Structure 1
Amino acid sequence: MTQTITTKLADSQLKFWKENSYVHIPGLFKDRVDQMSGWIDEISTWKPSMDQWMCYYEMDNPEQLSRIENFIPYHAGMKEIFTGDTIVSLISELMNEQAVLYKERINFKSPGGGPHAAHQDGVAYEQGENAAFDPNINPYLSILISIDEATEENGCLQVVPDWPIDNLEILPMEAPYPDRPDYMKIKQSLEDRLTWKKLPTQPGDALIFTERLPHRSEPNLSDKTRRIIYGVYNPLSVGDKRKKYYQDKRKNPNDPRYMVGNPHAPSE
C-alpha cells in the first residue's frame, strides 16, 4: 500500500527547494523552542556515555562540549520532536516518499567554538565511495532547528546557493591538517571559488537541506552559546539504518567518515 504524502509547503517553497536544495521555514517550532531549550540544558548535564548517548568535544578544546548524539532513546520529549508528524511529514514531502530518522544531534557552539568546515553530508553516509551521487536514490535530508538565534557573528549555517536538487556532483576533498589526517573537508582551492550564502535563523526556525548541498559554518565570535539541533532522515525504502549507524560508530568513533567537516577531539 502506497502512503499518501500530505502537502504542507507552498508551491513557491517547493520551487525554491528544487532550485537550491534547501528551504527555510521560519517559526516552525517557535511555540516549543523554550521547552526544547530546557530539554537541551537537561541533556547537557548527563554524564558522558558512549554506550548510550554519545558526547563529542571541541578539537582544539577537549574540555568543551561540541555535540551530543543518540539521545532520543533516553528522552521522550526529544523523541517526539524528531519522530513526530511535524518534521517527518515535511521531510517525507520533500523526499517524495516516507522518511525515517537516521540520526540526531545537538550542536553546542560555545563562545570561541570552532567552525564546521565546508563539506557535503552525503560523503559521510551511504554514497561516500561514489564518484557522484546516485540519481536513482532519493538523498538523505537534514533538518536544522535553531534553539538560539544564529547570526553571522556566532557562526550561522552557510550554503552554496543555486545548487539544484538534481546536481549529483561530489566535490573533491582534502585533509587540511597533516597531524589530523582523519579530518576531511572540501578542497580549499575549490571552496574559495564557490559562492557562499549565510543563513541567519531565529529561535524556532528550521532549515531543511539535502546531503548533496555544500555547507559550512564559521567560529562563534560572540559571547553567547549558539545551540541548534539536527535530525537526518533517509528514505524508508532503503531500510531503517539508525541502529546499524550507531553500532558502527561505537566500534570506531574516529573513523574518517565521522569527521567529514565536523572536527572533534579523538573519542575513546
Structure 2
Amino acid sequence: MTQVNTKLLTEEQVKFWNENSYIHIPGLFKNRIAELSTWIDEISNWEPDFDKWMSYYEMDNPNQLSRVENFIPYHEGMKEIFTGQTIIELISELMKEPAVLYKERINFKSPGGGPHAAHQDGVAYEQGENSSFDPEIAPYLSILVSVDEATEENGCLQVVPNWPLDSLEIIPMEAPFPERPEYMKIKQSIEDSLTWKKLPTQPGDALIFTERLPHRSEPNQSDKTRRIIYGVYNPFSDGGDKREKYYADKRKNPNDARYMVGNPHAPSN
C-alpha cells in the first residue's frame, strides 16, 4: 500500500471531523456528474443477476429498484471512481492509514421511496456483537456522493452532530417489525431523544462519515428520484482487502440480520 497523503484537508476540516465524525466536501465530483448519471442509468438497466451485481428492491414495492451492489467488477468507470486516487487519498488521510474498498452501492430513492432507519453502520460490519466499539480498530469510513440534489424533501442524509470521533458508544437497537425480525434500528425512544441535523447536498458533493456515527434518512416526498453512490472503506491493517469475501458471504445469506441494519430492502433472487 502507498503512504498516506496528509495534505488534502485543512486544519479546520480535520478539527470538524474530530469533533463530529463527518465532513462535507462540496463539489468533489462536480465535473463528473454527467458521467456518473449516465453510468447509473446503464447499471440500473442491467438484467438482475445476483451471481454478479446484486439488485435490491423496496420491501413494500418489489418493482421499485432501491439499491445495486457489487458492480465495479463489471464497470470500469465506476471502478475508477471508487478505487481511484480522489477517494482513496481522502479516506486514507482521515483514517490515518491506507484504506481499501470494502463495499460499494448505488442508492436509488425514487418518489415515495422509503427511509433508511436510524442506525450505526459499524453494528453491521465487524463489531455487531460488542457493547461498544473496539478502540484498537480504526473505524470503517463511508463516502456518499450525490448524483442528484439531495434535499430535506427527498430524503437527504441526517446525522447526530457533535458526535466525537473517539466515541465508542453502540446505541441499543430494536426490531420494530415482528414480521421482519432480522431488520434492526436504533431504539425509537433513544432516536427521539437525539438531536438530528439534515445535510442537503448538491450534485458532486461528498459526505464522509465513520461507522460509529448515528445517521438516517427520511422517505422521498418529492416527485424526483434521488440517486447517490456510496462506498465503505476498511483500514488495510484490519484484514487487508476483504471486499470479495464480504460479497461472497452476503450472497449466501442476503437477509442475514447484519445486512439488514437500517435497510429493510428485499434482494433480487
TM-score relative to the length of structure 1: 0.98
Structural mapping, 1:21-60, within 5 Å: 21-60=21-60
1:69 counterpart residue number = 69
1:186 counterpart residue number = 186
**Counterpart of 2:57 in 1: which secondary structure?**
strand
Aligned amino acid, residue 263 of structure 1: P
Structural mapping, 1:161-200, within 5 Å: 161-200=161-200
1:157 aligns with 2:157: yes
1:78 counterpart residue number = 78
Q: Percent of aligned positions with the same letter in both sequences?
A: 81
Tell me the alpha carbon deviations over residues 215-264 of structure 1, each in whole angstroms, 9 at most, x when there is no partner: 00000000000000000000001121101100100000010110000110
CA contact (8 A) 1:110 1:220 kept: yes
**Counterpart of 2:16 in 1: which secondary structure?**
helix
Shift of 1:113: 0.1
CA contact (8 A) 2:4 2:96 kept: no
Q: Give the distance between the partners of 1:4 and 1:82, measured in 2 at CA.
A: 17
2:217 counterpart residue number = 217
Aligned amino acid, residue 13 of structure 2: Q
CA contact (8 A) 1:5 1:96 kept: no
**Counterpart of 2:216 in 1: which secondary structure?**
strand
Tell me the alpha carbon deviations over residues 117-151 of structure 1, each in whole angstroms, 9 at most, x when there is no partner: 00000000011111100111110000000000000
Q: Give the distance between the partners of 1:4 and 1:26, measured in 2 at CA.
A: 22
Tell me the alpha carbon deviations over residues 7-56 of structure 1, each in whole angstroms, 9 at most, x when there is no partner: 20111100000000000000000000111000000000000111000000
Q: Give the distance between the partners of 1:94 and 1:207, measured in 2 at CA.
A: 12
**Counterpart of 2:106 in 1: which secondary structure?**
strand
Tell me the C-alpha RMSD between the 2 structures. Answer: 1.0
**Counterpart of 1:220 in 2: which secondary structure?**
coil
**Counterpart of 2:77 in 1: which secondary structure?**
helix
1:246 aligns with 2:247: yes
2:94 counterpart residue number = 94
Unaligned runs of 5+ in 1: none
Aligned amino acid, residue 23 of structure 1: I
CA contact (8 A) 1:22 1:209 kept: yes
Q: Give the distance between the partners of 2:103 and 2:267, measured in 1 at CA.
A: 20
Shift of 1:193: 0.1
Q: Give the distance between the partners of 2:262 and 2:177, measured in 1 at CA.
A: 12
2:116 counterpart residue number = 116
Aligned amino acid, residue 236 of structure 2: L
Q: Give the distance between the partners of 2:250 and 2:44, measured in 1 at CA.
A: 20
1:136 counterpart residue number = 136
TM-score relative to the length of structure 2: 0.98
Q: Give the distance between the partners of 2:164 and 2:6, measured in 1 at CA.
A: 23
Pair 2,202 (structure 1): closer, same or farther in 2 beyond 3 Å: closer
**Counterpart of 1:192 in 2: which secondary structure?**
helix
Unaligned runs of 5+ in 2: none
CA contact (8 A) 1:68 1:107 kept: yes
CA contact (8 A) 2:54 2:267 kept: no
Question: How many aligned positions are there?
Answer: 268
Q: Give the distance between the partners of 1:245 and 1:205, measured in 2 at CA.
A: 27
Aligned amino acid, residue 172 of structure 1: P
Pair 204,250 (structure 1): closer, same or farther in 2 beyond 3 Å: same
Q: Give the distance between the partners of 1:265 and 1:51, measured in 2 at CA.
A: 16
1:145 counterpart residue number = 145
Shift of 1:5: 2.5
Aligned amino acid, residue 251 of structure 1: K
Shift of 1:2: 7.7
Aligned amino acid, residue 72 of structure 2: I
